[in-house]
Chain A
């Protein structure tokens, strides 16, 4: 009874989820998607009509965070839970003494790991090409932090959607396209409810300020972490109340 202190990660469940996410063809499709910024940077390096710093900032704000990271993290985060709900294997995890928070936390951690494994190397490669070797550490560190935190937040929110709905990927992608990709771009206040906006705010901190939301990087970090915590908690709570699988 006294062991119910802090929710912890369960390594076997984390590893199991990793294996599940890495098996199948989906991971190959997402890896190909992660390479799009590299292709874009290569094309620009050949053309060279924009200032490298500016190009890098635009690439991060308009492609890497709101499209590539968002899409990959939502698909992976949702799948980490939804695959097992769909086929029923989640029942094996549910019939263990593990707290629901531990199960969700381990799954979100695995989804985040996979997301970063796909996006981070492509990001570094794209940056190296776009900035033509003329880059500071901050020009990589802040974008990586932005991708990591936005990715974590997307993973957690998608895991919650997967506990809530039968088609979490469809709903998650619709949110990215309609809300973050469209409404939030012309209605400035809608930006406050956009994960990508906070991710962008962090990512461009060390680059240059173009078209960045009016949030400071520090505030954005706090918001993303808070949303992540709430989503994980809500998903775990949902897991105790909803009918499984």
Chain B
């Protein structure tokens, strides 16, 4: 475990009666790792513990082999973009990034700031006061100060928040490149497909518990394979329901108001075959929508599954 940049051993963190993180263990090495979970799942607490901004209630956190609280010099090797939308409004982007680099012991902070600001695409506004920066620009200044001192470990809390699609692509590419350069990068997000584009590995947190970890694609498949409910609005629900059950496409059918809700084990197959089946049965499909495709239910499913596996 000594080679791992970031190690959590049985880490719990609670605030009064609220458990933010429960008995979480993992070890991360070089490359990009996604930290996935809904709001309040414990992502920010986990990143705060990594960054040394709070201490675990029990367990140990080791960052680049050290306990940060006792080894402040380690901060020279860590870049942190935290979740607060905070910048010194009276500084220019260049001054702020250079200041952060200087405080972290960079020999030529001005050159480092120029390089980092170019890297996040803010080179041409570097001399403007941060006061007037848009959310997307602020987000990228936070990233630039995390990069400027060339850190081995990067902790990025929701780095794509507030960015437009072009900026997102740019930052995703940058994060991927940072991982390929052999840095350990932790990226938190509540959006799976966002993490998917950056991180080959992912940790999934639900209500403070680590419910899944490993290959992002495998977890993606796991999520895709869960049974799902689909709501169908048609002009002849009962007729179509019979056909769907008969074809073995759905496991159950129930009727709610004027719609039919079916539970499907293989959603993709249902999607492929539903139009043909409806056409053959002479039923018109007015609306087809997933009932539980929101992330909450995805996480709830993973949580249930993790508890089942643990038993």
Looking at the complex, which one of A87, A93, A95, A99 makes contact with B78 (CB distance below 8 Å)? A95
Asked if B88 contacts A20 (CB within 8 A), the reply is yes
Asked if A16 contacts B54 (CB within 8 A), the reply is no
Asked if A88 contacts B82 (CB within 8 A), the reply is yes
Asked if A91 contacts B80 (CB within 8 A), the reply is yes
Chain B residue with the shortest CB-CB distance to A244? B53
| Chain B nearest Cβ from A148, distance in angstroms | 27
Q: Once the chains are docked, how many angstroms separate the CA of A245 from the CA of B51?
A: 12
Tell me if A185 counts as interface (CB < 8 A to partner B).
no
| Chain A nearest Cβ from B20, distance in angstroms | 10
Looking at the complex, which one of B72, B78, B84, B102 makes contact with A91 (CB distance below 8 Å)? B84
Tell me if B190 counts as interface (CB < 8 A to partner A).
no
Asked if A98 contacts B53 (CB within 8 A), the reply is no
Tell me if A182 counts as interface (CB < 8 A to partner B).
no
Q: 1/0 per residue B74-111: CB within 8 Å of A?
A: 11101010101111111100000001101111000000
Question: Using Cβ atoms and an 8 Å threshold, which residues of chain A touch B73?
Answer: 97
Asked if A97 contacts B87 (CB within 8 A), the reply is no
Asked if A95 contacts B80 (CB within 8 A), the reply is yes
Q: Once the chains are docked, how many angstroms separate the CA of A93 from the CA of B80?
A: 11
Asked if A12 contacts B90 (CB within 8 A), the reply is no
Tell me if B69 counts as interface (CB < 8 A to partner A).
yes
Q: A95-B75, A95-B78, A95-B80 are in contact. Are A88 and B86 (CB under 8 A)?
A: yes
Asked if B87 contacts A96 (CB within 8 A), the reply is no
Looking at the complex, which one of B52, B72, B86, B87 makes contact with A99 (CB distance below 8 Å)? B72
Asked if B53 contacts A91 (CB within 8 A), the reply is yes
Asked if A92 contacts B53 (CB within 8 A), the reply is no
Tell me if B48 counts as interface (CB < 8 A to partner A).
yes
Would you list which residues of chain A between 43 and 94 have a CB under 8 Å from chain B?
Answer: 87-89, 91-94
Tell me if A132 counts as interface (CB < 8 A to partner B).
no
Asked if A98 contacts B103 (CB within 8 A), the reply is yes
Question: Using Cβ atoms and an 8 Å threshold, which residues of chain B touch A167?
Answer: none
Q: Once the chains are docked, how many angstroms separate the CA of A241 from the CA of B70?
A: 12
Question: Using Cβ atoms and an 8 Å threshold, which residues of chain B touch A96?
Answer: 72, 75, 100, 103-104
Q: A92-B145, A243-B53 are in contact. Are A97 and B76 (CB under 8 A)?
A: yes
| Chain A nearest Cβ from B113, distance in angstroms | 13
Looking at the complex, which one of B53, B72, B75, B86 makes contact with A89 (CB distance below 8 Å)? B86
Tell me if B55 counts as interface (CB < 8 A to partner A).
yes
Chain B residue with the shortest CB-CB distance to A88? B84
Asked if B103 contacts A12 (CB within 8 A), the reply is yes
Q: 1/0 per residue A23-53: CB within 8 Å of B?
A: 1000000000000000000000000000000
Looking at the complex, which one of A88, A93, A240, A241 makes contact with B103 (CB distance below 8 Å)? A93
Asked if B87 contacts A89 (CB within 8 A), the reply is yes
Question: Using Cβ atoms and an 8 Å threshold, which residues of chain A touch B89?
Answer: 23
Question: Using Cβ atoms and an 8 Å threshold, which residues of chain B touch A99?
Answer: 72
Question: Using Cβ atoms and an 8 Å threshold, which residues of chain A touch B72?
Answer: 96-99
| Chain B nearest Cβ from A15, distance in angstroms | 9
Interface CB pairs A-B, < 8 A, 12: A88-B85, A89-B86, A91-B80, A92-B100, A93-B103, A94-B52, A95-B52, A95-B75, A95-B78, A96-B75, A243-B53, A244-B53
Known: A19-B88, A95-B51. 20 other contacts (CB 8 A): A10-B103, A12-B102, A16-B99, A19-B91, A88-B86, A89-B87, A89-B88, A91-B86, A92-B145, A94-B52, A95-B78, A96-B72, A96-B103, A97-B73, A97-B75, A97-B76, A97-B104, A99-B72, A243-B53, A243-B54
Which residues of chain B have a CB within 8 Å of any CB of chain A?
A: 48, 51-55, 69, 72-76, 78, 80, 82, 84-91, 99-100, 102-105, 145
- For the complex of A and B, the 5 pairs showing the least CB-CB separation, nearest first, are A88-B84, A88-B86, A243-B54, A96-B103, A244-B53
